[in-house]
Amino acid sequence: MKVGVPKEVKNHEYRVAITPIGVHELVAHGHEVVIETQAGAGSGIPDDEFHAAGARILPDPDSVWGEADMVLKVKEPVAEEYQRMREGLTLFTYLHLAADKPLTEELLARRVTGIAYETVQSPSGALPLLYPMSEVAGCLAPQVGAHALLKAQGGSGVLLGGVGGVANAKVVIIGAGVSGQNAANIALGMGADVTLLDTDLDKLRMSFWRYNNQVHGMASSKLAIEQHVTQADMVIGAVLIPGAAAPKLVSNELVSRMKPGSVLVDIAVDQGGCFEDTHPTTHADPTFPVHNSIFYCVANMPGAVPFTSTYALTNATMPYAVALANKGWEQACRDDASLALGLNTHAGALTNAPVGAAVGIDAVSVESVLGA
């Protein structure tokens, strides 16, 4: 199979979908890898390293997309890339279609086989290809939130850790999954007073032991969210329903009652966000005001730390990419039920029910596409 890796074009997206180790692995299995020049530069991987591992370097994205049987990416295609998609192409990347009806329609119209990292799901319910970037986004959230809290950035001027005689900042994290737990870990390390909200009591019990009861674990409800958010200096939204649009848990009216200069960081923005006023922003222009609060809603947060993110992501994705290249998408999905759940589109059909519910398009079952 010919595997193509274009350079990412999203605003300040420095990650790349493969490393030289991944190239070497694919080539060792008899596949050809073509990579757009400078695709790895943002992650500190020069063309020479890809070439030494066995890749062929191409001068432009049209060449990469045009030659490839399967395209590996990090982020979902944006409008300028739509015309490069074609029937028969397998696209393996983050898609986040529940929050992107135009892309969903393009994939269907162009009859692309779209396999989404974020909906590959193990029998335990874990999301192995989302996990590493959830870790990174969770770790970043308190850092970017602390920056936005600076008075010069429009925040309240509260120091997360406080000092002797002055209260620590109150950080409220909604969602105790992978990103929420990592956010709690960093916020606690920065000295904040941290509260973690979730409806899953087992996750809260785990955080009790993990943080030696230093993080306040609270059962989440509409009233609990209201009580804690209105007292918070920083709110981190870390709610995820696999494949589906994130629930809106913090209303505009609730934000109007928050402390002036408070900051809200929405990690769930890729899935539409869990705050009513969330809309995607970029690293170039990351924040916007809502009432007297500051929203940070960058849709590719891990792109800010590409060295860590690229290697963490490709460690997880490459075994699946090799399986897809070795067997073809259809047999690879038949052999691996976890990978099959990643199938979102094929030959004009939508194959993910939560996405269909979010974008208003009827979905068919993965089984109907894969047959026996």
164-212 pLDDT tens trace? 999 999 999 999 999 999 999 999 999 999 999 999 999 999 999 999 9
The tokens of 161 are what? 């850790």
Work out whether the CA dihedral 298, 304, 308, 309 comes out positive or negative: positive
The tokens of 188 are what? 């606690």
Question: What would the pLDDT profile of 340-368 be if each residue is shown by its tens digit?
Answer: 999 999 999 999 999 999 999 999 999 99
pLDDT of residue 322: 98
Q: Name the nearest CA neighbour of 290 among 298, 279, 301, 299.
A: 279
Q: Which residue has the tokens 């409008």?
A: 79
96 is catalytic: yes
First vs last C-alpha separation in the chain? 24
Question: What would the pLDDT profile of 110-139 be if each residue is shown by its tens digit?
Answer: 999 999 999 999 999 999 999 999 999 999
DSSP-based three-state secondary structure for 135: helix
Pairwise CA distance, residues 257 & 59, whole Å? 53
Pairwise CA distance, residues 332 & 84, whole Å? 24
Question: What would the pLDDT profile of 28-87 be if each residue is shown by its tens digit?
Answer: 999 999 999 999 999 999 999 999 999 999 999 999 999 999 999 999 999 999 999 999
Q: Tell me which H or E stretch contains 186.
A: helix 178-189
Average confidence (pLDDT) over 13-34 = 98
Q: Which candidate in 193, 198, 233, 270 is catalytic?
A: 270
Pairwise CA distance, residues 92 & 88, whole Å? 13
How does the average pLDDT of the chain come out, rounded? 96
**pLDDT band, very low/low/confident/very high, at 372 (cuts 50, 70, 90):** low
pTM of the model: 0.90
Pairwise CA distance, residues 294 & 291, whole Å? 8
User: Cα angle vertex 365, ends 363, 366, to 5°?
Assistant: 120
**Burial letters 231-266, b for 16+ CB under 10 A, else e:** ebbbbbbbbbebbbbbebbbbeebbeebbebbbbbb
pLDDT of residue 243: 78
Q: Name the nearest CA neighbour of 250 among 280, 274, 221, 231.
A: 274
**pLDDT band, very low/low/confident/very high, at 245 (cuts 50, 70, 90):** confident
Residues 6+ away with beta carbon under 8 Å from 124: none
Contact 66, 85 (CB under 8 A): no
Q: Name the nearest CA neighbour of 78 among 171, 169, 8, 150.
A: 8
Q: Is the pLDDT of residue 240 over 90?
A: no
Pairwise CA distance, residues 114 & 108, whole Å? 9
Pairwise CA distance, residues 284 & 227, whole Å? 33
Q: Which candidate in 31, 96, 216, 346 is catalytic?
A: 96
pLDDT-above-90 percentage for the chain = 96
Question: What would the pLDDT profile of 249-294 be if each residue is shown by its tens digit?
Answer: 999 999 999 999 999 999 999 899 999 999 999 999 999 999 999 9
62 is catalytic: no
**Burial letters 329-351, b for 16+ CB under 10 A, else e:** bbebbeebebbbbbbbbbeebbb
364 C-beta neighbours (distance < 10 Å), count: 14
The tokens of 166 are what? 């002055």
